[in-house]
Amino acid sequence: MSCKCNLKDEKIENPKILNPDIEGDASEVIEEEIYENIEVYSEATLPEDAILVGESPILNEETIFPSILGKHMTPKNEYAYINVITGKVQFVYEDQNNIIYTVTPDHSLVIEPERYHHVILMGPVTLTLKFYKVPELQDNKSLDETAIRPGEFFLNKD
């Protein structure tokens, strides 16, 4: 069995040289590089009885609240919905920070209530945030009263 390889004329820029005793084997590096290039999308949906209670204006990388980029929660007992119009953002739940969701115009994201999370800007972006209450959650008394909740600014004031 013969193997033909035409690499002699190709120049490899910045080859990775590993010391298996220190850095592990190549399969670990390959898995890391593959993982870095995979975009993960959320399949979560809003409950059927969700009621819209607030919405942000169109935000961009210059007008988004800095607290949305830091660790925070949705308004008390409410779901949030990120709709990216242009560009993309990443989204991370603090209790699952090894999973980074990608949010694009084709892949919106539902944010569960009472879970710390943050948004990562990936360049120029325009987006809106919508907030929904769900009747069965309104009696939930186990709230983190110290949580930063920037979405409360966008709630309809009845």
Q: Give the β-pairing of 78-86 and 126-133.
A: antiparallel
Q: Which of 114, 118, 128 is nearest to 78 (CA)?
A: 114
This prediction has a pTM of: 0.74
Are 132 and 108 in contact, with CB atoms under 8 Å apart? no
pLDDT one-digit tens code per residue, 12-39: 566 555 555 555 555 555 455 545 557 7
Specify whether the CB–CB gap between 83 and 125 falls below 8 A. no
Output phi, psi for 64, to 5 deg. -65, 140
Q: What is the full per-residue pLDDT of the chain (158 aa) written as tens digits?
A: 444 444 455 555 665 555 555 555 555 554 555 455 577 889 899 999 999 999 999 999 999 999 999 999 999 989 999 999 999 999 999 999 889 999 999 999 999 999 999 999 999 999 999 999 998 877 777 788 899 999 999 998 76
Question: For 83, which DSSP code?
Answer: E
